[in-house]
Structure 1
Amino acid sequence: MNILSRPPNRPYRNLFLAALVGVPAGSLVVSLFLALFQSTSLKQSLTLIADALFVSSIGYAAMALLLLAYGLPALWLALRFRLAGPATALLIATLPGLCIWFLGGTRGSLAWLPLAISVATGLAFVALAYRGTPSNNSFKPKPLRGSD
């Protein structure tokens, strides 16, 4: 298996599914981190975890724009130039989160949210699109049985 050029299975469907999974997963990871390490009380921790649902609803609007402006064209180009392997897909998915993380300052907890969402989306895409063996589209007829 070539991790740089293996074509994904059903790439566009899996891109949309990965976006649906990645937004709440990334926001939940950041909320859990803040609840465990930065909250001062149990009530504040539970509020931070519950806020992941609200953050996900805002994240879906941003994800829809990113899919139209960045994700779909990047996937099309990667498929066109046969560079749509798992490593490339994870790098392309993580790139917007890294840009926002660097531009927004690496110290604030809000800057970690887009990075966590983009990494979760990339991991979900790799898990969905590259599971199983690659499809072999070659047609090889089977010989007839009983012909001697």
Structure 2
Amino acid sequence: MNIFTHPPSRPYRNLFVAALGGVPAGSLVVSLYIALFESSSLAQAFTIVADALPVSFLGYVVMAPLLLLYGFPALWLTLRFRLAGPAIALAIAMLPALCILVSEGAGDDAISWLPLAISLATGVAFVAMAYRGAAQPHQFRMG
């Protein structure tokens, strides 16, 4: 499998499902990090982890237009030019978050890493779903 040109299976459905799963996964990872390393009490840690769900709903508000204006057109272009491999898909998924992180500056607070965690979770979920399955073995002719 070529990591740059291997076409995904069911790309648009997998991108939509990856976005549905990536938003809560990324926000939960950041919430767990904040709860473990930056909370001062157990009650505050539980509150921070519980806040991952409302943050996910806000993440969906941002993810919906991002999918329509960036994700689906970028996927269409990579499919059109036969460059829709897993490495490029992950890079394209990470690009908006990296732009946000660079434009705002990598702050000391963990919440500034939230877009990057959501993009990474969405990209990994898309790659895992769209490129799963065994590679096609080469068929040799006998005789």
- TM > 0.5 between the two? yes
Gaps of 5+ in 2: 137-143
- Normalised to the residue count of structure 1, the TM-score between the two structures is 0.89
CA distance in 2, matches of 1:111, 1:123: 20
- 2:141 corresponds to: none
5+ residue gaps, structure 1, are 136-148
Is 1:42 aligned to residue 19 of structure 2? no
TM superposition score normalised by structure 2: 0.92
Say if 2:67 is the partner of 1:60: no
Distance 1:103 1:73 in 2: 23
How many residue pairs match? The answer is 135
Once superposed, which parts of structure 1, at least 4 consecutive aligned residues long, lie more than 3 Å away?
none
Q: Map residues 1-148 of structure 1 onto 2, 5 A cutoff.
A: 1-107=1-107, 108-133=109-134
Query: 1:102 Cα deviation (Å)?
Result: 1.3
Distance in 2, matches of 1:42 and 1:110, equals: 19
How far residue 101 of structure 1 moved from its aligned partner, in angstroms, is 1.1
Aligned-pair identity in percent equals 67
Deviations 1:54-105 (A, max 9, x none): 0000000100010011000000000000000000000000111111111122
How far off is 1:110 after superposition? Answer: 2.2
Question: Which protein has the larger Cα radius of gyration, Structure 1 or Structure 2?
Answer: 1
1:134 deviates by 5.9
Question: What residue identity is the alignment partner of 1:133?
Answer: A
| CA–CA separation in structure 2 for the residues paired with 1:26 and 1:132 | 25
